[in-house]
């Protein structure tokens, strides 16, 4: 499928450096490349080669992983390795309704929108208005912002009116929000809490169990790349180690709040 006007795409050269642009069939100003005739992108498709200013590129349509890696950052984001684990462990697919606590810079929001589209939605509850504004800027790049709603408020007391299949919380004290958000999660729905420290993980696990949640478990992701060269392969010296702890659980129909 050829690129459409207004779509966000990127160019990449042999070194892997990416140059981002929004498709327009008029003259485009592209960072580091100058002014380019946008009509050149009219008949190009995903993976097409293109020569700009005497240099060869390939042009690609981004998936969630590229969008997350390139978004403008303010607050710390949940990156691809943890976002993918959240989506898989929470069974998030097209049609899922997700209630997210904490937009940050919109990294996880981007992944959630990509997973729930086109038939689902993401409703984010964000405490800080400046975070919500930056997240909106980043989410608009995906073209999926029509499926996103953001409410400014405190997760410990704000009413959302949402009935969600999945509740994802990225906040330092998620146990304080459980009672307020309990009724927003349907029976059988899944919850995930992302916390950076072990004492926080211990407390949210205990809080979920106290409220009758089933299948409560915690984990962390450690990811290591490989350096692959002709004649030799070795592990990368840098490891993408601890970023946060992920705690999961499922709401039962006979669970009880404190």
Low-confidence ranges of the chain (pLDDT < 50): 258
Q: What is the reported pLDDT for 238?
A: 80
Which H/E stretch holds residue 240? Answer: strand 232-240
**Cα–Cα distance measured from residue 88 to residue 166, given in angstroms and rounded to the nearest whole number:** 12
Q: What is the reported pLDDT for 84?
A: 95
Residue ranges of domains in the chain, CATH in brackets: 8-60 (3.10.330.20), 65-250 (3.40.50.150)
**pTM score, whole prediction:** 0.88
- Residues 197-211 pLDDT 10s: 999 999 999 999 999
Closest CA to 163 of 145, 189, 144, 194: 189
| 135 touches 105 (CB < 8 A) | yes
Q: Exposed (0-12), middle (13-18) or buried (19+): which is 218, by Cβ within 10 Å? A: middle
Q: What is the reported pLDDT for 142?
A: 86
- Residues 206-248 pLDDT 10s: 999 999 999 999 999 988 889 999 989 999 888 777 889 999 9
Residue entry with tokens 């299949």: 165
**Cα–Cα distance measured from residue 176 to residue 178, given in angstroms and rounded to the nearest whole number:** 6
Q: What is the reported pLDDT for 166?
A: 98
Kindly state the tokens that stand for 32: 């580091």
User: In percent, how much of the chain has pLDDT > 90?
Assistant: 71
Q: What is the reported pLDDT for 256?
A: 63
């Amino acid at each position: 499928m050829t690129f459409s006007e207004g779509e966000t795409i990127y160019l990449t050269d042999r070194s892997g450096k990416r140059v981002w642009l929004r498709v327009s069939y008029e003259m485009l100003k592209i960072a580091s490349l100058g002014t380019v005739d946008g009509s050149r992108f009219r008949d190009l498709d995903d993976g097409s080669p293109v020569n700009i200013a005497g240099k060869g590129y390939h042009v690609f349509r981004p998936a969630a992983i590229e969008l997350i890696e390139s978004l403008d950052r303010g607050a710390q984001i949940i990156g691809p390795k943890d976002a993918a684990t959240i989506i898989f462990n929470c069974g998030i697919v097209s049609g899922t309704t997700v209630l997210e606590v904490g937009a940050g810079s919109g990294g996880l929001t981007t992944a959630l929108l990509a997973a729930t589209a086109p038939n689902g939605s993401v409703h984010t509850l964000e405490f800080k208005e400046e975070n919500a504004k930056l997240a909106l800027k980043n989410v608009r790049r995906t073209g999926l912002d029509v499926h996103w709603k953001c409410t400014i408020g405190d997760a410990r007391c704000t009413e959302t009116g949402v009935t969600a299949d999945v509740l994802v919380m990225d906040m330092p004290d998620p146990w304080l929000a459980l009672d307020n958000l309990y009724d927003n999660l349907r029976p059988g729905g899944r919850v995930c809490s992302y916390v950076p420290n072990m004492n926080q993980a211990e407390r949210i696990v205990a809080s979920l169990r106290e409220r009758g949640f089933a299948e409560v478990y915690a984990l962390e992701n450690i990811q290591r790349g490989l350096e692959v060269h002709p004649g030799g392969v070795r592990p990368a010296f840098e490891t993408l180690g601890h970023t946060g702890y992920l705690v999961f659980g499922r709401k039962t129909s006979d669970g009880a709040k404190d």
